[in-house]
Structure 1
């Protein structure tokens, strides 16, 4: 298995992974050709040194997983850095093989390399299996998260 930074040609496969579950199907627009806004977002992520869009490849160089790791500098914790994991997906046909755990172990190492003092994530309450998986990895539900969604125009 290989972990690497995503490149532009990976965007359709990443979006397909993001759209491959019931919640993703409601919010993603996976089609061919892929809407340009996904490529625009990729370019913004790629230019930002505090963003790492990662893919996991199998031995056949097929993308089988993804996550986005963000590094957030701030003044609290004496000018610390917080690492945030988002958009985790493992291709459905390879789930249960330890790939997600290896991806998270990679992300934990990477956050330590970047001297983050905490690694955090959110998970939708409609994903109880994901919550159990994160708890098994050592994440704790230490805070109550809230979101304010803006209407899309």
Structure 2
């Protein structure tokens, strides 16, 4: 598996993976051609030096996984850097083969390279299997996350 920065040509495969679960199919608008909003979002992400939208490819160069690593500078921890992992997906044909773990280990190492002092993520409470997976990687539920959809 090769992990690389996503490009515009990868957006369709990424959105397809984001939409391919019970929660994603409710919030994503996956259809071909993709709505322009996805390409506008990709451009914003790609042009932001604190965002790394990554894809994983198989030996044939087919996109089989994705994640977004956001580096968040802030004043606490003496002006520390926080790494946020979001939108992790593995193509349904490749799940259960340890690829998600490889993606996470890559992201954690990348956060260390960038001198982040903490790596964090959020997960939907409707995904208990994902929660167990994150805990197996060493993540701990130390805070209560809250969201306000507007």
- Is the TM value for this pair above 0.5? yes
Per the TM alignment, residue 145 of structure 1 is displaced from its structure 2 partner at its CA by 0.3
Q: CA–CA distance in 1 between the matches of 2:10 and 2:130? A: 24
CA RMSD of aligned residues (A): 0.4
- Which residue of 1 is the match for residue 22 of structure 2? 22
Aligned length: 150
Q: Work out the CA distance in 2 between the residues paired with 1:65 and 1:142.
A: 27
For structure 2, the 5+ residue unaligned runs are none
Structure 1 runs of 4+ with >4 Å offset:
none
Residues 90-120 of structure 1 deviation map (CA, whole Å, 9 limit, x = unaligned): 0111111000010001000000000000000
CA distance in 1, matches of 2:105, 2:68: 14
Say if 2:96 is the partner of 1:92: no
Q: How big is the shift at 1:19?
A: 0.1
TM-score (norm 2): 0.99
Q: Which residue of 2 aligns with 1:127?
A: 127
The corresponding residue for 2:70 is: 70
Tell me, in whole angstroms, the C-alpha distance in 1 between the residues paired with 2:47 and 2:100.
26
Gaps of 5+ in 1: none
Cα drift, residue 52 of structure 1: 0.2
